[in-house]
């Protein structure tokens, strides 16, 4: 049976943008919401936009969580703790969670160009504390804006994937690879999410100053594709070189 990817808060800008891109790439999507009807409406709009055999269903967040193999957390920072507490007994062991949350000050009425301090270090580390054993977590997509995702153009952005769990990191990187133009980069441990997320506030400022809606981040001097081999192996070196040559 094909895997199912839940977008918790998938009625919003970031969640529906990711749902659109992943459904277009052939993934089976579950839109989650506090309101099942709202989720069904978003799912219908996305199905109509994609057409064909797009597999997108809408349901409440607990139902999406119970039914999914991968859950992408796309609710505002201010709502994440309450949602994760609600879901604590719902997760299936083996589920992979991908956290996109940025603790923007805007989420509590402040500026979109500032981030809040998070006691645990980052929103993702806070999420980690609220997940049961057997559910693994990666942080990703924090710097990939909703406006860019909503368009049909290739995105021009690197996506740093941070996790303490190798499988979660691989799965998140694989999903990044389904979005044309996006390059997944191994961002190291989950704690590095505290470095990655604040860049989003900087990007919000750049969007305002340059009057654009798609500022993104690119790193130089790295292989052009995600490299699953451990660094330093001869094979990984060869694959990296081949990726560069093939480009």
Ligand X SMILES: NC(=O)c1ccc[n+]([C@@H]2O[C@H](COP(=O)([O-])OP(=O)(O)OC[C@H]3O[C@@H](n4cnc5c(N)ncnc54)[C@H](OP(=O)(O)O)[C@@H]3O)[C@@H](O)[C@H]2O)c1
Question: Contact positions toward ligand X, by CB under 6 A?
Answer: 9, 11-15, 33-35, 38, 74-79, 82-83, 100-102, 104, 142, 144-146, 200
Q: How far is the CB of 200 from ligand X (least distance, A)?
A: 6
Q: How far is the CB of 204 from ligand X (least distance, A)?
A: 8
Q: How far is the CB of 229 from ligand X (least distance, A)?
A: 29
Distance CA 194, CA 201 (A): 12
Q: How far is the CB of 147 from ligand X (least distance, A)?
A: 7
Tokens of 110: 């402040």
Q: Which is nearer to ligand X, 76 or 177 (CB)?
A: 76
Q: Which is nearer to ligand X, 12 or 188 (CB)?
A: 12
Q: How far is the CB of 238 from ligand X (least distance, A)?
A: 34
Give the count of alpha carbons within 13 A of 74, CB side only.
Answer: 29
Q: Which is nearer to ligand X, 58 or 227 (CB)?
A: 58
**Of 146, 203, 144, whose CA–CA distance to 177 is shortest?**
144
Q: Which is nearer to ligand X, 207 or 240 (CB)?
A: 207
Q: Which is nearer to ligand X, 96 or 227 (CB)?
A: 96
Distance CA 35, CA 145 (A): 24
Buried b (16+ CB within 10 A) or exposed e, 65-85: bbbbbbbbbbbbbeebeebbe
Distance CA 98, CA 79 (A): 16
Buried b (16+ CB within 10 A) or exposed e, 160-190: bbbbebeebbbbbbebbeebeebbbbbbbeb
């Amino acid at each position: 049976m094909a895997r199912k990817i839940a977008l918790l808060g998938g009625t919003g800008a970031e969640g529906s943008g990711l749902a659109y891109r992943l459904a277009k790439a052939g993934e089976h999507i579950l839109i989650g919401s506090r309101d099942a009807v709202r989720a069904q409406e978003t799912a219908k709009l996305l199905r109509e936009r994609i057409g064909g055999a797009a597999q997108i269903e809408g349901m409440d967040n607990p139902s999406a969580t119970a039914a999914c193999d991968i859950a992408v957390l796309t609710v505002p920072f201010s709502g994440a703790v309450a949602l994760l507490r609600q879901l604590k007994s719902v997760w299936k062991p083996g589920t992979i969670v991908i956290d996109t949350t940025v603790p923007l000050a805007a989420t509590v009425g402040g500026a979109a160009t500032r981030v809040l301090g998070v006691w645990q270090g980052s929103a993702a580390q806070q999420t980690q504390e609220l997940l049961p054993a057997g559910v693994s977590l990666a942080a990703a997509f924090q710097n990939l804006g909703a406006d860019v995702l909503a368009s049909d153009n290739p995105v021009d952005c690197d996506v740093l994937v941070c996790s303490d769990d190798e499988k979660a990191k691989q799965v998140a990187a694989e999903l990044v690879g389904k979005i044309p133009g996006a390059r997944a980069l191994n961002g190291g441990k989950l704690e590095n999410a505290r470095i990655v997320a604040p860049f989003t506030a900087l990007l919000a400022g750049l969007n305002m100053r340059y009057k654009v809606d798609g500022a993104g981040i690119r790193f130089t001097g790295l292989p052009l594709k995600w490299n699953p081999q451990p660094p330093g192996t001869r094979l990984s070196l060869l694959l990296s070189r081949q990726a560069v040559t093939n480009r």
